[in-house]
A and B are shown apart, each in its own frame.
Chain A
């Protein structure tokens, strides 16, 4: 681990200030579950680490007129315990599926959203795009865990966030602060992620000196149901092979509106409008859920080793839909 300065600001504006120095070669520390590992592997080598956990405004969940503001320091434990978040079942399910109390106690929503890819080429030091001599290692190497959608560009990793699909399916936005003092913007979460086109580009829209402070969630209507289905090889601590989150507006058994978002299938969370349109104005049934799954992967372009993920992603969508309406039976 390269050495760095350390700062522990008390306020958002202080944090933004501290992140500006060193040309923005700074890093935000929250739960530490991803960052400290990245630092140890020298994959992230900032001049300064800014521990934001003391910033009270970025903690907790509070209601406003239209929805909820969720501080990014909210831990997985707090997601499971929060009465305000309870109606957002698909989110709670993700927190619950992290089968390690150590991650649940430390991991934060902000940290999850900013989790860097688990791509083994990235983690072994080949960069986000895993390029060597101008060629993608992923394309011809071992890509069993890589993208099956959105992989025609140089980025072929899968987005590592486990909460983003559920949050996007709920229409969440993120509040971004910095780099200028008092500079604030609120962006739909689905636009927060990017598939980098060049080696020096990150996988989010965050610019040096920016951080996310809050997640905004729209209020839940009585007709909204949601679910996340993550396909995990192991029962213990593991990463999904693919996942799907759905939020449905169901009236009288008929889906009025639907959002279907896949995780771990593309360099960004993958919003499937195809699957949503299959569901719209239909009664949910196993056949309909299956059709939604098929639609979600209809444009999949698997790489040399990951055809199997197409089937898994399809199943995840199908099961998330059925789970949302309480019709899911079985599944390992």
Chain B
């Protein structure tokens, strides 16, 4: 393979032939983007120049409200939501995409807010747990969590609620096994999983 050093895993007498049909065929190494796409993109180019590292104007649309902030590019969406928008239902626990306490929805999908930069999430529809009990309407996930006591210290709970809502939106008839797989990205230390599972299952059975 060109100038690359021989990799350790290949013994000296191994014939590196590929076996699957097609993989030996020379692949056209041409640009994948179509001309039309490139042209379309050129029109938008004004928005794509690199910004400075200084604090800059940023607009986040959270729960339908536009928050105008001045933030450095390094500020995470989690920090912006909690510290700058004072929406503290979204919790900081691990900051390393493991625990799910900071789960929000972006364009309807469950996302760890600690894995996003605020500057990169402009123009998207961000939903936090606060939206699930706004305007006098309470999401059934919330009432059902309370019913099954799927909260103890409560610190993981809002993130779990958002994840459960996003999950049920996509899997309204989920089975217990699907719930256990889908919600494996949320961590609880007090041990409320049994209540969460009962809640999600009940809503799935009742067509949440």
Measured CB to CB, the residues of A under 8 A from B are 1-14, 18, 21, 29, 31-34, 36-37, 39-41, 48-51, 53-58, 64, 66-67, 69, 71, 77, 96, 99-103, 105-106, 149-150, 152-153, 170-171, 173, 175, 182, 184-188, 191, 194-195, 197, 205, 213-214, 216, 218-219, 221, 224, 234-237, 247, 249, 257-259, 266, 268, 270-271, 273
Q: 8 Å CB contacts to A: which residues of B48-81?
A: 48-53, 72-74, 76
Chain B residues with CB under 8 Å of A214's CB are: 32
Q: 8 Å CB contacts to A: which residues of B29-57?
A: 29-34, 37-38, 40-42, 44-45, 47-53
Chain A residues with CB under 8 Å of B120's CB are: 6, 8, 29, 32, 51, 53
Chain A residues with CB under 8 Å of B117's CB are: 6, 29, 32, 36, 49, 51
Chain B residues with CB under 8 Å of A5's CB are: 50-53, 73
Q: Are A11 and B38 in contact (CB under 8 A)?
A: yes
Contact with A along B7-25 (1 / 0, CB 8 A): 1111100100011111101
Q: Are A56 and B19 in contact (CB under 8 A)?
A: no
Q: Are A102 and B21 in contact (CB under 8 A)?
A: no
State whether A259 and B32 are in contact (beta carbons under 8 Å apart), knowing that A5-B52, A194-B4 are contacts in the complex: no
Q: Are A67 and B4 in contact (CB under 8 A)?
A: no
Q: Are B38 and A175 in contact (CB under 8 A)?
A: no
A74 to chain B, nearest CB (A): 13
**Complex Cα gap A69–B29 (Å):** 11
Chain B residues with CB under 8 Å of A67's CB are: 22
Chain A residues with CB under 8 Å of B161's CB are: none
Q: Are A197 and B73 in contact (CB under 8 A)?
A: no
CB-defined A-B contacts under 8 Å, sample of 16: A6-B50, A10-B41, A11-B33, A11-B45, A31-B115, A32-B115, A37-B115, A49-B117, A66-B22, A100-B186, A103-B97, A106-B112, A205-B4, A214-B32, A224-B20, A270-B9
Q: Which of A51, A101, A186 has the most CB of B within 10 A?
A: A101
State whether A12 and B163 are in contact (beta carbons under 8 Å apart), knowing that A7-B50, A33-B115 are contacts in the complex: no
Top 7 A-B residue pairs of the complex, sorted by shortest distance between their CB atoms: A100-B185, A57-B33, A99-B184, A171-B23, A218-B22, A236-B184, A10-B41
Measured CB to CB, the residues of B under 8 A from A are 1, 4-5, 7-11, 14, 18-23, 25, 27-34, 37-38, 40-42, 44-45, 47-53, 72-74, 76, 95-98, 100, 103, 109-112, 114-117, 119-120, 163, 166-167, 170, 180-187
Q: Which of A101, A219, A257, A259 contacts B166 (CB 8 A)?
A: A101
Q: Which of B40, B41, B53, B110 contacts A101 (CB 8 A)?
A: B110
B208 to chain A, nearest CB (A): 15
A243 to chain B, nearest CB (A): 16
Nearest opposing residue in chain A for B103, CB measure: A102
**Complex Cα gap A31–B187 (Å):** 21
Q: Are B167 and A101 in contact (CB under 8 A)?
A: yes
B106 to chain A, nearest CB (A): 8
Q: Are B25 and A105 in contact (CB under 8 A)?
A: no
Chain B residues with CB under 8 Å of A8's CB are: 47-48, 120
Q: Are A102 and B48 in contact (CB under 8 A)?
A: no
A172 to chain B, nearest CB (A): 8
Q: Are B53 and A102 in contact (CB under 8 A)?
A: no
Q: Are B32 and A101 in contact (CB under 8 A)?
A: no
Q: Are A257 and B9 in contact (CB under 8 A)?
A: no
Nearest opposing residue in chain B for A187, CB measure: B1
Q: Are B114 and A171 in contact (CB under 8 A)?
A: no
Q: Which of B10, B47, B74 contacts A10 (CB 8 A)?
A: B47
Q: Which of B1, B29, B48 contacts A175 (CB 8 A)?
A: B29
**Complex Cα gap A219–B27 (Å):** 13
Chain B residues with CB under 8 Å of A149's CB are: 9
**Complex Cα gap A149–B7 (Å):** 12
Chain A residues with CB under 8 Å of B98's CB are: 237
Chain A residues with CB under 8 Å of B50's CB are: 5-7, 18, 21, 48, 50
Nearest opposing residue in chain A for B25, CB measure: A66
**Complex Cα gap A56–B37 (Å):** 7
Nearest opposing residue in chain B for A39, CB measure: B74
B182 to chain A, nearest CB (A): 5
